[in-house]
Amino acid sequence: TGAYYDAMQQREETVSTYMGNELAIPHGTNETKETILDSALSVVRYDGGVDWDGNPVTFVVGIAGKGDEHLEILSQIALVFSDEDEVAKLKQAQTPEELYTLLSTVNAS
């Protein structure tokens, strides 16, 4: 929803969602959690990277977690992106379908 998108921007103004290892995980504020109908994530890969609050980011994973489900989603994403070999595989994916398959463990909940 528009309210959740606004909350994602508000959170970014408060604290950067840059996580290291070329990853940012934008998400909304606690005040807008009730606007989330279902948990979901979106993945954008910026080949060549983008400047995210002064940090190089290749992957932006937007999260909306219903209730406390965002904690499990964050945990799964952190596991994948803590492994530099996994990040390298994600960067080499040639199609959206290949990227989706590589990230399927994140979305398995």
Q: Tens digit of pLDDT for each residue in 5-63?
A: 888 888 888 888 899 899 999 988 777 777 788 888 889 999 999 999 899 999 999 88
Average pLDDT over residues 53-74: 86
Structure letter (DSSP) for residue 30:
G
**pLDDT, position 109:** 42
Sign of the Cα pseudo-torsion (94, 78, 75, 15, in order): negative
Q: Is residue 53 a contact partner of residue 16, using CB atoms and an 8 Å limit?
A: yes
Residue 108 burial class via C-beta count within 10 angstroms: exposed 0-12, middle 13-18, buried 19 and up? exposed
Cα torsion at 17, 28, 78, 98 (round to 10°)?
Answer: -100
- Taken in order of first residue, the domains within the chain and their CATH numbers are 2-104 (3.40.930.10)
> Any bridge partners for residue 50, and if so which?
57
Asked about 70 being catalytic, the answer comes back as no
Percentage helix, strand, coil for the chain under 3-state DSSP, each rounded to 5: 45, 25, 25
Residue 108, pLDDT score: 46
Q: Which of 23, 27, 73, 103 is catalytic?
A: 27
- Check residue 97 and give its pLDDT: 92
Mean pLDDT of 64-87: 84
Decide: 109 and 76 in contact? Cβ < 8 Å.
yes
